[in-house]
Structure 1
Amino acid sequence: MTPLPPARPGEITPRPGWFPRLGGAILFYTRLPLPSGWQPRFEGIAPLAPVVGLGLGLGLVGVDFTLGQLGMPPLIRSALVIGLGVWLTGGLHLDGAMDTADGLAVMAPERRLAVMADSRSGAFGVMAAIAILGLKTLALAELTTGRGWVLVAALVWGRWGQVVAIARYPYLRAEGKGALHREHLRSPQDWLLGLALALVLHAGWGWSQPDQLGAVGISLLGGLGLALGTGAWLHRRLGGHTGDTYGATVEWTETLFLCLATLL
């Protein structure tokens, strides 16, 4: 791949077109292969994370529907769907949530980034993973109305929260994958794409189930608040974000949104 020319002082860093960046987003955020001939680029892929979430969500809904038609109980198929989601992403976001939990458990703030950079998982990281996977599975199993809509919306909101965190808060490491995301981000237009996807999803949910408009409206506000609030809370605790906290933003936004949906 030919590298892009560097930006001159005062200029916006150039980045590839939409289609190559979509290929890069699929490769970066999932373990799915690309068709031959699709040349991926990774500069500026962060705004397309909600699009990847949309695709993953639709695929998981298809699997969930098929298992339901085969008569599989809701709890078992929910566990399989959540597990498949982790496998499809290569555990990328879950690993970040685990590292973040380990870092936040350290009392000395100056040591948190070093602990998060350690590839070994500590007790708090394991507990965070158990909580995330358990809450997601149980919450999804409890949903009988709007199950598919909620699952897809959760994946979109989580990744939109990541985009906002990249755009709003400083990156705490001199190097890393997150630095590439921030360098090529265009704010505010880049985070509008994920927000538009989430709005369209909730509009479709309300149109398909007009008797649930109140719940749809609350879930819309809840998703917006959780996506913004999770990234803001992590920024407050750490003074900024890293690639690990981006993953934690995705995972905890998804988890809390699914839990919220059980109340509606």
Structure 2
Amino acid sequence: MTLIESFTHRQIEDFNRDGFLIVEEGLVSERALELLRGRYEGLFDGRYETGIKPDEVNWVPGRDPEDRTRQICNGWRADSVIAAQVLNARTGRLGAQLGGYRGTRILQDNVLWKPPGTKAIGFHQDSSYADYLVPAEMLTCWISLHDTTAGAGPLEFVRGSHQWPRTPPERSQFHAPEDWLAPARNAAPEGAEFEVVPVVVKAGGGSFHHGLTWHGSSPNTSASVARMALVTHMLPVEVRFHEHNVDLIYSRYKRFGDLSLDESFFPVLWDESGYRTPWLAGLPDID
């Protein structure tokens, strides 16, 4: 598999028009796919290679219903293989190219596991959760570790919805809603087209999307596809904390009297100057 190193002018135009870009394959190597798939069971069983718990563990076996999508946020803090993928320079460079950024740093990752029979994830805008940052924006890379089908609950986008207004998040409608499209329908401007596009790709493919693009996923109705995906939420490199607004979880990394983002927790993935957070050089080479 040839890995994608840059996007064409046409792909950038498609991203700007639609609010997302689907990449059929070539975002992750075959070796990396095998290594990443092997980390999920341990992570969700609470076995953390680094000894550090992720920032959010939204599904625990025996605690949460089996029909919920499994999600961990910032699995990179717990596992070096997850870190090697979500913090790689190629992802950061591709994100910067689409976003028009001079550089990118990570906000958080999502480790997602959606076995057959699991319910939906409600539609939402990522940037609506980011009012504790300035600017309150992000760009997301979503990578599938398996071939996806429309019936296995893949990521879905509403085409062109990044042009719609920012809407406050409906947190109660995020995990396992009966009508996962309702938040996006309710937010659609009068007369707006409402075209839902599934991300159907090969293993190692995926998508990039704008922080205001409405997206979510339908239930996994397949009989055998236990879909795994890995997400990197990227920020423009110059982002700072908001002076007053705070986040329940991620504002814990704000230093007193300092609005800058500490590279221990929000490392720089890629910068046009050639800079990259130095400690990332110590991550394993999984390609």
Task: Provide the TM-score with structure 1 as the length reference.
Answer: 0.29
Task: Provide the TM-score with structure 2 as the length reference.
Answer: 0.27
Identify the structure with the greater strand proportion: 2
Identify the structure with the greater helix proportion: 1
